[in-house]
Structures are given as C-alpha cells and as structure tokens.
Structure 1
Amino acid sequence: MDGKAAGAPPDFHFYPLDLYDPEDRLHPFPEGATRTGREVYAEMAEEASDPGSVALGKAPRALEEEVDELVHLYALGGAGEWGSELADGSAPCTEVPEHLPLGAQRDWQRGPEAGERGCVGWGATGPGLRETYRCAHGRAIEEYECYVIPEEEDEDEAALVFCVTCRAPVRALEVSDEHREHEVTALDKALESAKDEVHKNMFKLEKQILEMENFANHLEEVFITVEENFGRQEQNFESHYNEILETLAQKYEEKIQALGEKKKAKLEALYGQLVSCGENLDTCKELMETIEEMCHEEKVDFIKDAVAMADRLGKFLNTDTDVEITTQPDFEDQTLDFSDVEQLMCSLHALPAPSAPVINPQAPNSATGSSVRVCWSLYSDDTVESYQLSYRPVRDSAPGKDQAVFTMTVKETYCSVTNLVPNTQYEFWVTAQNRAGSSPTSERAVYMTAPSPPIIKSKEIQSCEEAALICWESGNLNPVDSYTVELTQVETPEASGVTESVVGIPACESLVQLQRRQSYTMSVRAHNMGGPSARSDPVTVHTTGSRFPLNQHTCHPWLTVADDGFTVVRSERKTPLKEPLPGNTRFSRCVAVMGNLIPVRGRHYWEVEVDEQANYTVGVAFDDVPKEEDLGANRLSWCMRHRFASSRHEYEFLHNKTTPDIRITVSPRKIGILLDYENSKLSFFNVDISQHLYTFSCQLHGFVHPCFSLEKPGRLRIRNGIAMPTHVAFY
C-alpha cells in the first residue's frame, strides 16, 4: 500500500497521531527530512559492512532494541506474532511506506533478518480519517487517529479559508471553482464563531448540571428521611407485634381452661338430675303394678290393701318432684377482657415525645419571588408522625415582634412555602410531633424570598455602535445584592436563549459592550441570598448607530418633548417661568433641552430635522454647562446657531461667544452631527446635499450631551440610531 487514503490529494500525507500521548514518550518522527525505509536499510547495511566501524556488532543490537521499544510502544505485538510470510502464503511486502514510524520502516525492510516478524501492513480504513497497523495474519493490531497535514507550499497557494456551506476549510484557490457560490469566511473568524458556540453550549450544560444537582440533593433528602422513618417504625412494630401475639396466646389458654371446667360442672349436675328422675320412674311403675294386682283380688282383701295403698300413694304424691332442668345446655357468651391487649396496642404509640429538630440555613437558589424551600433535620431515633412549620415575616430588623404567625403541618423534613412577598425575610421554626406530644421548638432561621423582576426604562436606553447603557428600576422595596443583564443576539426571528450574561452589577444601570450593526434582546434579573428573580420584560437594542433619549429633567418649561421622545416643540403660548431651585438641572434662560449620550469613547452620529425659517441651536455641552446662559456662550458648549430675519439666513458656529466667518449658501433642512471623542472633534453636515459645514476642535475632558434650543415657536425632530453616511465617515 502507498500509505495514503483513497481520494486524498497527492500533496497530503497521513500521519498517526495519539492525542493523549504524554510529553515524555518517545516520538517516532525525528525533526528534519523524512527518509524512506530503503534509504535507512541501505545505510544500516553500509555501516554493518564497514570493517573500520567502531560500533561493529553494536549497531544492529541497538537498532533491534530501538525497534523493540517502538513495537512495544505502539502495541504491535511480540516476536511470536510476526511471520515471514502472510497467512495466505504470499510473499511479505517489500515496499516501505514513507509515513510509517522509523522502527516500523526498519522492521518492514529487514525481511528475513526479522525472523518471525515478517511484514507489517499499513492501510487506510477511511477517507483519510484512520489508519491501521496489520500483522502478517491480516488482523488489526492498533488504530490511530490521523490528521491531514498539507505539504509546504507557497503562501498564496497554501492560504486557507473556511467554507460555511460545506463546513470545512478549503484553499483560497478552490473558492473560485467548486465553492464559487458558497459562503466563505476567514479561518480566524470561523474559529472565533466555533469558540462562541462552544461557550454557549458550556453555559447551557452548566445550567443543566446545576439543576440536576439540586434535584439530586432534593431526592437524596427525601430518600434518607423515608429510610430512617421506615427503619424505626419497622423495629417498633416488630417488637410490639411479638408482645401482642404472646398476650393473645396466653388469653386463649386461660379461656379454654375456664370453658372446660364449666362444661364439667354442667354435665355433673345434669347427671344427678337424670338419676333422680330414673328413681322416681321406677317407684311409679312399682305402684302401678301393685294397683293392678289389687284389682284382681277379692273385695275384702282389696279393701284392706287399698287402705294401705292409699296411704302409700298419698305419701308419694305429697313428695315434690323437681321436673325443671337446673343446668341449661347452652353456654353464656364469653366476653374476653382485652384490656391488657389494648394497653399493648396503645403502647405502640406510647413513645416518648421527639427531640427538637434542627432547621437548616437557607440554601442558595432555594427561593422564588413568592415561595421558599425550607429544610430541617432530626438527628435522633425519635419516631415522628408530622412536623409543624411556623413562620412570620421579619419587619424593621426586629424578628418575631408583633407579626402574624402562619403554621402548616407536613410529613417530610422539607416544605415549600408559597404565597410569600418578594424580596422579604421570613423567620421559620419547626416542631416534631407524635402521639406522645410535641418536641421543643427548633432554633429560628431567617429565609429570604427572591426579588421581583426589575423594570427596564426602555425610553432611557442609550446605545451606539459598540455598546449600550441599560437603566432599570429595582421593583423591590428592600435592596437587592446584585443584578444580571442577559442578552440574546437576534439573528433570526426564531432565535431564543441567552447568549451572554453580565453578572454582579451593583447599581440599576450597566454599560454593555456589543457588536456593531446587530440587534439584541435584553432582560434583567435581580439577585439576593434567596436566588435570582424572574426575567424582566425584554427590550430590543440596536447597534446601528448612536441612540439617546431627551432628558426631560433639563427641558425648559416653554419646550415640550413629544411622546416619541425625539421631538421638541415650542408652542406660541408661553407658560410662566418659575424660579429654578438651587442645583436644578433645568434650563432657565436658554430655551433648550439636553439629550443623554452614552458614555462610550468613539464616534457618534445623529441628525436633526429643522425648519428653514425657525431660529434654532444644535450642538453639544458638558453636564455642568450654565443653565442660565445661551448655548455657545461659554467654554462648556459647542453649537451651530441659525437665525431667520428679512428672508435671510444667518449661521454661526459658537464656542465661548466666538464664531468663524463662514457663509452657507444652501440652507440645510436636515443637519448631521458627528461627535468624535478620539480626535476631540465636532462636525456639522448638510445631509441633503452631503456637504460638510464646519468642524470644531474641542477639548473634551469628559463626556458631553447633545443640546437643542428653539428661540421662537417651532419644532426639532432628532433622528438617532442611524448608520453613519459615507461622506461623514471620512471626517
């Protein structure tokens, strides 16, 4: 065999590779050029035939030791498994594959000198995926995973890309042929995508493992509780059952003996009556016979005997004869006295009252917003029929004071208590009960329910091409430990699942780094010692361009922000001005409003739709810009100002009350603004004709806010979250 898989390109070689090979193992591939088996054998023969060689007689032995070591290393079998001929009688192979390990090449080439070893077969069992050593009898000795390693080529020819359609790496030269219509990407990008997919799967697996571990712990608690209670009850029932059997057997013997004695007395009394009745019958018969004899005698004798017989009959008749049975044949119903048996039966439950249970501390993630799972233990051998769990909310850090107590009866050593208030501490204690009474109360433990889901302020979300600032309300009266932002990249409408999480957020806002020109679905969870809350209602964030809302807390009273949050209107009717409070952020003299810009370094672009005849000012300013001054009248603001008077348009680019002498011939109806933090520049553009108007070189020591002002009634509409035009990207 030639050592190459069928169908593989001619410039690809297959090498056996043990991925789990330790570093200290002998490597069969020496560094440098690879030689064929024939070249190695020729070199060996030349060294062996050289009479002046110092290592004469030692080189073959060293080579044999090296070959034996490699044979043992690759589990190629002992000397007894090799033969000089194949099983079918054919001659051994003489062609040595170049990709065989060095020891295998030598054994291949040694021929008759190898003794019983013979030929080693090296063949591909798949299309370049696995190769197999085979002995002379044709059976596989060991298999090795193989990798396709291309030979060195020119940089242009060896350039590889990844075909997404075929899901395989290909040469850049093949893209124009077979993969012309396929989606192709760089190998580095494909590798990053594969890593991201692995991370997502790892996150899902970790979550499933955690759920399975919690469920396994729960089952283990139930199993241990049932096993302990069953063992104790089995011992008690067996002991008392034996006592009841002994008592019943004794009762049986006593009752049988009493019935026998009563039977004997009845029989003796009846026998006496029977004997007396027989004697009376005999007397009656004798008198009857005597009277009959007298009737046949003569009258004189009859009269004499009749007088004597009359006296005798009178005496017999005057004798009372008892013809009533003194002993009844039936027996009275025997009512057994089972009082002692009842005592034994009651002794089954006459157990000592159980000892006090031990309530466990709250386990992580054991609560939801309305329920909590409470666990306790009973370390003694007491028999328990039920547990009484009591709890009450903890208010004002004063446990157990003037709060309603709730109780519930359970059979197991755990209980899920429901209908609770989110993010609230509850005090729990438990007692064990059986027929003997209740145990002492356990120590009290404080459990906490999970928080309520936060509420995202969708109208205050700020974003740019690389990040987004998410703000939310806690939704809980009590403070929480931290928050987690979960986001999912919306690639398709069917996309689902969390792809990334930002954890351990202490405040109610977070700056999340994102990818450009993507859409994300975001939600927030709150965490405390009880566990995470449910997800908040999701919001969608786009990274097409910079997106910011208008801050109504800075809005002048004469301005109104529309419901869409991006339109500023100044009406004809003026509302009376109120004296601003000290430290108020609202504009007082300048009729303006600020927008919130996400604090991210980079380039931000937005547009403003204006009225050609309106007097407006647009630009940027620091947060501490004086609210009683006009925009552009100090060092903390840069802006473009427009005034319309007598059919003339006047434009000024103001900073610290100074403006350059610039003429604008075409009045813009849509103004583009580019804020470049990196280069400290602020540029203005006429979007309609793609014209650059002016660029400020600013000293931006911090983040700035977009500003908008209307000196007369009119409206301004801000368009943000849009992609940067091509003519703007060069500035």
Structure 2
Amino acid sequence: VLCNEIFLLNFVLQQALDSNLSSLIKRTSELESLMGKLIQTCQHVEVNASRQENKLLEECELLINIIQQRRQIIATKIKEGKSVRLRKLAQQIASCKQCIERSSSLISQADQTLKETDHARFLQTAKSICERVSMATASSQILLPEINLNDTFDSFALDFTREKKMLESLDYLTAPNPPAIREELCTASYDTITVHWTSDDEFSVVSYELQYAIFTSQSNVVSLCNSADSWMIVPNIKQNHYTVHGLQCGTKYIFIVKAINQAGNRSSEPGKLKTNSQPFKLDPKSAHRKLRVSHDNLTVERDETSSKKSHSQDRFSSHSSYGVTGNVYIDSGRHYWEALIGGSTWFAIGIAYKSAPKHEWIGKNSASWVLSRCNNSWVVRHNSKEMPIEPSPHLRRLGILLDYDSGSLSFYDAVGSQHLYTFDIAFAQPVCPVFNVWNRCLTILTGLPIPDHLEGTDYNN
C-alpha cells in the first residue's frame, strides 16, 4: 500500500511538473516572441527617428532659403522705392533751382531799372522789364512743380508678427485622430443618406474620405473592411458631412470616414445606416366610386352615405372590391409601409399585379396577396385560399414588409412587433400596394425605414 501511495504521489507530482513546465515553456516562448517584436519596434523607432531628423534639417534649410530669398526681394523693393522717390525729388529740386535762377536774374534787372535816375532811359526799359516780371510771376504760379512733401518713404512697414508666430508654432505633424460618425445626426431618404461626423483634429485634417458598402445580415464587418472591391469611395471631402445619392431603397449600408493629412490617415469605427423605403401615396384615379381619398392622398374612407342595406349586400358580392391602389409599381428591393386602421372592422391590405382583376376581392385570384379582416375573422388570402391568423384584438397598426428580390411578403403588428404571416412568392411581374375598405377608413404611412427588429428576419409559413 505504501508503495502504491508513493507511486501515485510520484505520478501526480510528475503530471503537475509536466503541466507547469509546459506552461512555463509556452510562457517563455511568448515572452521571447514579445521581446523580438519589441526589439524590432526599437529598430523601427531608430530608423524613423533618423528619417524625421533628416527631414527636419531639410525643411529648416528650405525655410532659411525662403527667408533669404524673401529678404533679397524685399531689400530690392526698398532700394527701388528709394531710387524712384529720390529721382523724383532730384528732378523737382532741379526745376526749383532753374526757376530760382531765372527769378534772381530778373529781380536784379528790375532793381537796376528802379535805380535808374534818367527818366528817358527808365521809360525805355521799365515797360519791357515790367512785362517780363509780370510774365515770370504768372508762369511761376503755373509751372511750380507739384511736390509731395509727405512721401518720405515712411508709410511702409515690415511686420512679420504672423510669420514669427507661425515659426514659433512649428512642430512635427501626426496623422489625425480617428473621426467619429454621429449616427444620431445622420439622415436618410429612400435613395440618399447624409453622413455626419466629428473630429478632434479638425484643424489638422486636410481632407476626409468616405467609404461605404451594402451591409446584409450575413456580412462580416472585419472581412468587409478588408475587401477593397466591396467599397465605394468618395475622396477629397472638405466638410464634416456628405450626402450619398443613388442608393437602394430599404437597404442597410456600412460607412467608414477616413481623416487625412500629410502625415497619414486614420479611419473611424464603422457606422451602419439605412435608406428609407420607397415612398408612395394612394392613387385617387384607382379608387372605387364609393370610396373617398383625402386631399393628401394618404387616407381612404368608405362613403357611408350609401344605404346600410346596399352596404351589407356589397360585402358579399364578388363584384364589389372597394379598393384603391398605391401610385407605384415595385419590381426590386426591400420595402416597408404601414397602415393605420381607423376603426375599420372590414378591410383587406396587400399587394397585387397590375393584371389583377379590378373589381374582384383582392386575394381571390392568383395575382394578389392580402391580409383581411371581416369583423372578428382574420385571414391571409391568395388565389381564394384562406388561412386564419390570430393577431392582437387591439391591432391598430399593420406593418407590411415586401422583399421583392427574395420573394416574400410579410405582415406584422407594427406596435407589438408580432409577426403575423409571410407569403413566399415567385414574382413574375411588378406589384402594387392595394387597400380595400368596407367601413370606416385606412391611413397609410410610407417612406419609412425598415425597423431594426425586421432586419434579417426569415419566416417560413
């Protein structure tokens, strides 16, 4: 027994030692790998720092050369300005000197004439001298040079305050911090998305680049980001927002914003945004004569002025489809709209081909698919085949999701998020939204985004 215990103890210790040794060897290997990466990083730091130091010398020499060139240019301008002004002043001084010399000569002659005591000689010269003095006075007033005594070349200043501040703020440039997509500020229509983002380094960013791709429930963000072929790219954006046009309606996209400057670039975290569904309204021209369509073409109401007897009989007539269609035909994409049930207890909502009979209950033929309520009876119907469903008795808002490409039409309680039914359809023609109402009214809400809880749903009935 003692030998067995010793053997067992040795075995346990050996197993523990082997396990600990394996862990130690693995840890040592990891440390060696880490140390190798650290050494390699040190080498990169040395190389990059040397490169930056050489670049710094080059840039400083360029700055010095620019300053010297500007100094020579400005000094030349000062010399030229001085020469022009001195030349003009010298010309004006010479003109003044000539005028003074002529005036002095004439003054001397006039003085001598005035000193003449011989009246005959005075009369002989005085008239001539008087005319010359008069002419000289007049010409001096006209010919005096225009002199700008204020142009002393003191109205120019050398102010390099801004440049000095710029030089004092010189520093090495780093790549901008990653921008952040502000999903709460982003907006969308059925074919556009406006992306907004913010950046902590807004003043150091030269431009932004926006990248986007379609994102499905099967998409993998990492693999999608590594796949350059999947992305559309919008370069050289100067603002912190951009509107992308020409998108598919009812589709989710993934966006990445890249901030760029001379030192490099950094990318934001991916943001997921989606376009709204195709907007549409009711087509009044398609409405049954006993239905009224509102001025905004969003509400259809049964004309209750007809007699109750006629109303009751019409409910069961195969030729009384009190219907109205949407003003669009859909042949691709994903679309979502809702119908507000305004107290109606007798209605049908769904889609139909253009070729569907105009005066037949929708769902009674192979060209239409509907969800219908007849008082307390709820059914989905296609080609006269009905299947009962059990929605909430307080259902007041019906959601319809049409995925034309995948071939499905789904109905939901839009408030309670309850899935009611899904038709699997191999579409052969474009389809149109259709609405039948036998009492009260229905109101449609369109151009909506597909609710998040419906993204990637797959129901089979």
Which protein, 1 or 2, shows the higher relative CO under an 8 Å CA cutoff with sep ≥ 6? 2
> TM-score if structure 1 supplies the norm length?
0.28
| Structure that is richer in helix per residue | 2
> TM-score if structure 2 supplies the norm length?
0.43
